[in-house]
Amino acid sequence: MPLGSLTKAFTAAGIAQSVANGTMGWNDTIASHINHIIKSDTGKELTELFDARYIKNVTIYQLVFMSSGLSDYNDQYLRDSNLQRPDFDWTPADYLDLYSGEFAFPPGEGFRYTSVGYILLQYALAVQAGAKTWEDYDQMSVLPEYLRKDMKHTYFINRGRCSAFKKIGMVHTYESKTVHEWPATQFSYQGYWEKTCANGWGFGNIALSARDTAKFWYEYMGTENIITKEYQELLMNF
């Protein structure tokens, strides 16, 4: 089943591995890693997509730990769009275009949950992997080979309706909406089976089984097979 933001743990793992092997640094600016691929993908510089005063100073660390000052795209617009345009697959460029580009605060001066920041981090991983396009980057590559073989029911969905993935075990998902709250709460439910399953490259496009979810978290935080002890401690104490 789709588990959305669990995707961020994979993206963060890839960044932590890159820091550990020296190909990235926590204090590197994200612009130094991705400006050229952003220009290729969107036709714009980072400073055109985001507030130029701040984006040039945003670091890898700030994006991973959500202290960059970036907010997020209009989620309600996205939900409505998915219902109205069931075959429209949101690309990273579409998400960046949807985002206002504004900062909630200067980088490093607060905390704000953001999915947009994880798109930028995923771009950095794609560049490092030598991927020609965002879709060429293998999001499973952060896992060791034995774990990729073991987690047989883990997928990253980039395009297509959810129903197109029935053969791999995709299940129906629904969104609830409160219709009436007094005197008795009532809900309506909107199914996503015949809607796009492209829920966010780098931050929300994973689908996996309960067994694979448990296996992933055990390996992620209970061993050093995915990330180092140093990064595990950083996750717990940042």
Domain boundaries, the chain: 2-237
**Nearest in space to 106 (alpha carbons), one of 56, 143, 150:** 56
Q: Which CATH architecture has domain 2-237?
A: 3-Layer(aba) Sandwich (3.40)
d(CA 14, CA 117): 14
Token duo for residue 184: 């008795």
Cβ-Cβ contacts under 8 Å for 1 (sequence gap 6 or more): 170, 171, 173, 207, 208, 209
Specify the pLDDT at position 177.
Answer: 62
Other C-beta atoms closer than 10 Å to the C-beta of 52 total 12
Specify the pLDDT at position 164.
Answer: 73
**Nearest in space to 162 (alpha carbons), one of 185, 133, 192:** 192
d(CA 108, CA 65): 10
Specify the pLDDT at position 133.
Answer: 87
The neighbouring-strand residues paired with 191 are: 174
The low-confidence residues of the chain, meaning pLDDT below 50, are: none
Specify the pLDDT at position 176.
Answer: 61
